[in-house]
């Protein structure tokens, strides 16, 4: 059985620490788990439209490509810098774009990077409820890395590196045990047609 693992980095900055952390986890998963087909998506590298309420199937280009990658993934490792005690706007946009059932029953590992320790609980209060809405399984062992854990464009803290590897192992392990908790269907929320999306006035 193959595991399509997507690492999603939601930082808008170049030389992102979040991207380094997500890559560290994904590289470990690819190296240690032969079943894994891994891909890292750095959201800033793609021309992603703002969600405008249309049905997800109606987007084109990079936006459509990203939505499809999220739907096709078996498991994800999602990383974000902490911005204003929460996740970034560009990451929120990805979660606004995808269909409500895109992550249903999938294991997700969470990674946050931050300038301080103050917002460690943003993982609990911001990221977990977001994934909860999608009825994904947040795998225990989320990683919170601070700027001091990086030096000269590298992740140097051995404890954080080890935690990222363990997180990747846990996500793959969860996936290999099979889909868990596939219960009631996801409630359908209507989105707009292209015609309605671009209709002027009331
Ligand atoms: C707009 C903005 C808001 C931020 N807000 C917070 C914050 O609320 N708490 C915090 O600890 N760090 C905050 N930071 C620091 C970043 O989370 C930190 O530098 C992070 O490592 C950046 O990750 P990146 O290199 O992947 O972009 C903020 C940075 C920016 C640019």
Give the CA distances from residue 3 to residues 40, 76, 118, 126, 171, in Å, rounded to whole numbers and listed in that order. 14, 10, 35, 27, 10
Cα dihedral across residues 137, 34, 163, 45: positive or negative:
negative
Mutate to test the pocket of ligand 1, among 44, 80, 114 (most ligand atoms within 8 A of CB): 114
Helix axes 158-176, 17-32, angle to 10 degrees: 50
Could you report the per-residue pLDDT of 71-112, keeping only the tens digit for each?
999 999 999 999 999 999 999 999 999 999 999 999 999 999
Closest among 169, 174, 180, 179 to 33, alpha carbons compared: 169
Ligand 1 pocket, 57 CB below 6 A? Answer: no
Domain membership flag for residue 202 = no
Q: What are phi and psi of 74, to 5 degrees?
A: -90, -25
CA distance 176 to 187: 27
pLDDT confidence of 179, banded at 50, 70, 90? low
What is the total count of domains within the chain? 1
CATH of the domain at 36: 3.40.50.360
* pTM for this model (two decimals): 0.94
Mutate to test the pocket of ligand 1, among 115, 118, 150 (most ligand atoms within 8 A of CB): 115
Ligand 1 centroid to Cα of residue 88, in Å, is 9
Domain membership flag for residue 96 = yes
Ligand 1 pocket, 17 CB below 6 A? Answer: yes
Q: What angle do CA 47, 128, 26 make, to 5 degrees?
A: 55
Domain membership flag for residue 61 = yes
Domain membership flag for residue 45 = yes
pLDDT of 183: 64
Range of the domain at 88: 3-197
Could you report the per-residue pLDDT of 28-40, keeping only the tens digit for each?
999 999 999 999 9
Domain membership flag for residue 143 = yes
Q: What are phi and psi of 150, to 5 degrees?
A: -120, 150
Domain membership flag for residue 37 = yes
pLDDT of 201: 77
């Amino acid at each position: 059985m193959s595991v399509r693992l997507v690492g999603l980095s939601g930082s808008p900055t170049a030389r992102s620490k979040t991207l380094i952390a997500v890559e560290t986890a994904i590289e470990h998963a690819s190296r240690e788990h032969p079943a894994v087909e891994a891909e890292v998506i750095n959201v800033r590298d793609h021309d992603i439209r703002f969600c405008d309420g249309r049905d997800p199937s109606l987007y084109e280009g990079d936006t459509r490509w990203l939505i499809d990658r999220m739907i096709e993934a078996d498991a994800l490792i999602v990383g974000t810098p902490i911005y204003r005690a929460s996740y970034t706007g560009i990451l929120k946009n990805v979660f606004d774009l995808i269909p409500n059932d895109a992550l249903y029953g999938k294991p997700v590992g969470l990674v946050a990077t931050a300038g301080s320790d103050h917002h460690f609980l943003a993982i609990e209060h911001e990221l977990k409820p977001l994934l909860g809405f999608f009825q994904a399984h947040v795998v225990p062992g989320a990683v919170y890395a601070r700027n001091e854990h990086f030096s000269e464009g590298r992740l140097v803290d051995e404890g954080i590196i080890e935690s990222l590897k363990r997180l990747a192992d846990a996500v793959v392990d969860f996936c290999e045990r099979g889909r868990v908790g596939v219960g009631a269907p996801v409630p359908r929320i209507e989105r707009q047609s292209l015609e309605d999306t671009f209709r002027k006035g009331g």
